[in-house]
């Protein structure tokens, strides 16, 4: 990959290939040849000519291997390149890059450090290639955000303690014993003022096919410079371990050739109306965090019929109510009470794929960073630069609203963040770099769709009272609307404890010492309440 001309002023991204398949390139070609082999499995050793009688024969084998690899790659027969996976350790990469690029598709696995539980340290943030007044403005704005974070970590301890001991009244007799838990709740909310420039570190695993796609798309919005740098290093690591892949790589698609860039470049300043868009979108939510805006018309009927089809039964032998209970009631379907999600593998539960729902949502950047990890409930995330102007646009967590002084500091920090971005814009700084000053609280508006098979699992995970408060609130909003629309389906959209209770599983809460403190399985969705 060509070297990138510009670079960040902060610590360079660290990319390490920590695990990979043995001979991944040879195995990809072996898999392709096996499809047409009448003699059984073709091995990597065979395609590479390891057992050939001389070097000339080995060279001919490798030529045939490379020709076949190039041929199937160019023809779009890419499944053979999905077998080999590569595990990377990434550090000094921004939360902005992670949200915008690494986690914006379904074909990966990541485990990254959580800002909910790990305090952010001074200086741990990306600094784009700025100079002079622009650089000073950028650093001053980030420092103000970090100062506010530390202040809120302390200031939110009091309202967090009140909410915590209301949930765990027995623990109020020894508050010092639980202070670390209270502090975590305060820190979880304080992180909303941090910039998306904040560094993260993570394990990130992708197939060779996904890495090909990363390489082709690394110059697209929203963070093309950081994307090129990090993806370039990932590809370098891959080629150091398996240089044969170099034959298949082409140049990345230029940003200027993407449809997003073509449209944005064609618009004048007068034609960009983010304030009007925001007002229109927010009005369409009608007071919801996540509003149900579309669905198939006969969800329950189709679901019941598909259950009968699996079992080979006529309606007279299994009516709709019983069919739906059979697939969704954990008392009838014990698979739903297990912590290992098995629904995509059960014949009956695969019927859930026929029902589907679409939501219009407004979440903070930090809550959406969790929402997008549910890769089978995809959303159309925004081109951030097109959504922003000089007007602060953010989400305020529930705990902040419970303390007037904290809410005032929070609002001041948001205003300071947007002021910093506006100053950068006035200085001619590209939006790409100014976006790194966005706080985690920045509002993200998008549409998300999911089939019931995937959505049921997501809601089970996020209706748990241990889930982050904002995404929990959005999930509760969704579950209630589905229940109103399809009551026979919606009655079974519950957190893990509710599902396990219906299934007769013990313990009812699978979280052990992380039990949220509330017997949620005894409550109706309409009774769910929480601050932290």
For residue 69, which of 124, 30, 12, 21 has the smallest C-alpha distance?
30
Residue 6: predicted pLDDT: 80
Place of tokens 């449809």: 259
Q: Which residues pair with 88 in a beta bridge?
A: 17, 204
Residue 5: predicted pLDDT: 62
Per-residue HEC secondary structure of 382-402 comes to CCHHHHCCCCCCECCCHHHHC
Which band of pLDDT confidence, cut at 50, 70 and 90, is reported for residue 267? confident
Distance CA 357, CA 398 (A): 27
Mean pLDDT of 511-529: 95
Alpha helical stretches, state H, 312-403: 320-328, 365-371, 398-401
* 358: its two tokens: 């679409």
Distance CA 84, CA 373 (A): 22
Q: Given a cut of 60, is residue 166 above it in pLDDT?
A: yes
Residue 355: predicted pLDDT: 97
Close Cβ partners of 135 (under 8 Å, ≥ 6 residues apart):
9, 127
Distance CA 318, CA 301 (A): 12
* 445: its two tokens: 């508006």
Distance CA 470, CA 349 (A): 29
Q: Given a cut of 90, is residue 306 above it in pLDDT?
A: yes
SS3 state of residue 129:
coil
Distance CA 285, CA 44 (A): 55
pTM to 2 decimal places? 0.95
Distance CA 511, CA 530 (A): 18
Residue 57: predicted pLDDT: 96
Q: How far is CA 52 from CA 37, 56, 290, 416, in A?
A: 19, 9, 62, 69
Distance CA 145, CA 467 (A): 25
Q: Which residues pair with 292 in a beta bridge?
A: 359
Which band of pLDDT confidence, cut at 50, 70 and 90, is reported for residue 465? very high
Place of tokens 């790589």: 249
Q: How far is CA 180 from CA 183, 184, 185, 255, in A?
A: 5, 6, 9, 46
Sign of CA dihedral 39, 42, 45, 48: positive
Mean pLDDT of 344-353: 97
Q: What are phi and psi of 114, to 5 degrees?
A: -95, 130
Q: What angle do CA 222, 364, 272 make, to 5 degrees?
A: 50
Residue 178: predicted pLDDT: 95
Place of tokens 């020894």: 174
Mean pLDDT of the chain: 96
Mean pLDDT of 37-56: 95
Distance CA 164, CA 178 (A): 9
* 425: its two tokens: 């814009």
For residue 208, which of 76, 25, 42 has the smallest C-alpha distance?
25
Distance CA 435, CA 359 (A): 26
Per-residue burial over 260-296, b if 16 or more Cβ lie within 10 Å, else e, is ebeeeeeeeeeebebeeebeebeeebeebbbbbbebb
Question: What's CA 523's distance to the chain center, in Å?
Answer: 29
For residue 91, which of 192, 204, 6 has the smallest C-alpha distance?
204
For residue 118, which of 224, 54, 173, 194 has the smallest C-alpha distance?
194
Mean pLDDT of 365-374: 97
Q: Given a cut of 60, is residue 318 above it in pLDDT?
A: yes
SS3 state of residue 201:
strand
Q: Given a cut of 80, is residue 360 above it in pLDDT?
A: yes
pLDDT single digits (tens) 184-201: 999 999 999 999 999 999
pLDDT single digits (tens) 383-429: 998 988 899 999 999 999 999 999 999 999 999 999 999 999 999 99
Q: Given a cut of 70, is residue 478 above it in pLDDT?
A: yes
**Residues 447 and 380 sit within 8 Å (Cβ to Cβ):** yes
Q: Given a cut of 80, is residue 378 above it in pLDDT?
A: yes
Residue 266: predicted pLDDT: 86
- The residue with greater pLDDT, 44 or 117, is 44
Which band of pLDDT confidence, cut at 50, 70 and 90, is reported for residue 1? very low
Residue 28: predicted pLDDT: 97
Residue 93: predicted pLDDT: 98
Q: Which residues pair with 47 in a beta bridge?
A: none
Q: Given a cut of 80, is residue 2 above it in pLDDT?
A: no
Q: Given a cut of 70, is residue 4 above it in pLDDT?
A: no
Mean pLDDT of 471-495: 98
Residues above pLDDT 90, as percent of the chain: 95
Distance CA 90, CA 234 (A): 9
Q: Given a cut of 70, is residue 10 above it in pLDDT?
A: yes
Residue 3: predicted pLDDT: 39
First-to-last alpha carbon distance for the chain, in angstroms, is: 46
Domain ranges across the chain? 295-362+445-527
Distance CA 181, CA 187 (A): 10
Rg (CA), the chain: 26
**Residues 437 and 142 sit within 8 Å (Cβ to Cβ):** yes
Q: Given a cut of 90, is residue 252 above it in pLDDT?
A: yes
Residue 15: predicted pLDDT: 98
Q: Which residues pair with 20 in a beta bridge?
A: 86
Residues above pLDDT 70, as percent of the chain: 99
């Amino acid at each position: 990959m060509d070297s990138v001309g510009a670079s960040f002023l902060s610590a360079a991204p660290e990319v390490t290939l920590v695990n990979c398949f043995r001979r991944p390139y040879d195995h990809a070609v072996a898999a392709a040849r096996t499809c047409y082999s009448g003699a059984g499995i073709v091995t990597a050793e065979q395609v590479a000519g390891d057992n050939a009688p001389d070097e000339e024969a080995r060279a001919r084998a490798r030529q045939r291997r490379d020709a076949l690899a190039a041929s199937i790659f160019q023809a779009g027969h890419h499944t053979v390149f999905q077998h080999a996976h590569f595990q990377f350790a990434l550090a000094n990469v921004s939360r902005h890059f992670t949200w915008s690029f690494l986690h914006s598709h379904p074909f990966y696995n990541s485990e990254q450090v959580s800002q909910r539980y790990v305090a952010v340290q001074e200086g741990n943030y990306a600094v784009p290639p700025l100079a002079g007044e622009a650089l000073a403005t950028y650093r001053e704005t980030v420092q103000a955000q970090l100062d506010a974070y530390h202040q809120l970590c302390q200031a939110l301890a009091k309202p967090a303690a009140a909410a915590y001991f209301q949930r765990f009244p027995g623990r109020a007799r020894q508050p010092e014993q639980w202070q670390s838990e209270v502090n975590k709740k305060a820190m979880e909310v304080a992180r909303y003022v941090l910039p998306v420039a904040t560094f993260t570190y993570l394990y990130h695993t992708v197939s060779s096919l996904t890495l090909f796609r990363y390489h082709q798309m690394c110059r697209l919005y929203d963070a093309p410079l950081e994307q090129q740098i990090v993806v370039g290093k990932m590809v370098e690591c891959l080629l150091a371990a398996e240089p044969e892949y170099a034959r298949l790589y082409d140049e990345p698609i230029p940003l200027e050739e993407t449809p997003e860039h073509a449209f944005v470049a064609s618009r004048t300043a007068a034609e960009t109306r983010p304030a009007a868009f925001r007002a229109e979108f927010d009005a369409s939510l009608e007071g919801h965090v996540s509003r149900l805006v579309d669905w198939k018309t006969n969800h329950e009927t189709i679901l019941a019929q598909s259950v009968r089809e699996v079992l080979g039964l006529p309606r007279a032998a299994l009516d709709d109510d019983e069919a739906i209970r059979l697939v969704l009631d954990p008392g009838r379907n014990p698979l739903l009470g297990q912590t290992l999600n098995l629904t995509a593998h059960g014949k009956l539960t695969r019927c859930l794929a026929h029902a589907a729902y679409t939501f219009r949502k407004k979440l903070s950047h930090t809550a959406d960073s969790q929402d997008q990890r549910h890769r089978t409930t995809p959303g159309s995330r925004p081109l951030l630069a097109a959504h922003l102007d000089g007007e602060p646009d953010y989400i305020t967590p529930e705990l902040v609203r419970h303390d007037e002084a904290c809410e005032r500091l929070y609002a001041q920090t948001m205003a300071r963040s947007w002021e910093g971005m506006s100053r950068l814009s006035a200085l001619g700084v590209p939006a790409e770099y100014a976006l790194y000053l966005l706080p985690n609280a920045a509002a993200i508006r998008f549409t998300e769709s999911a089939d019931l098979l995937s959505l049921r699992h997501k809601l089970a995970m996020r209706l748990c009272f241990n889930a982050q408060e904002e995404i929990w609130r959005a999930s509760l909003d969704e579950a209630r609307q589905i229940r109103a629309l399809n009551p026979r389906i919606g009655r079974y959209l519950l957190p893990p404890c509710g599902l396990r209770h219906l299934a007769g599983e013990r313990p009812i809460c699978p979280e052990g010492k992380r039990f949220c403190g509330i017997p949620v399985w005894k409550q109706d969705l309409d009774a769910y309440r929480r601050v932290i």
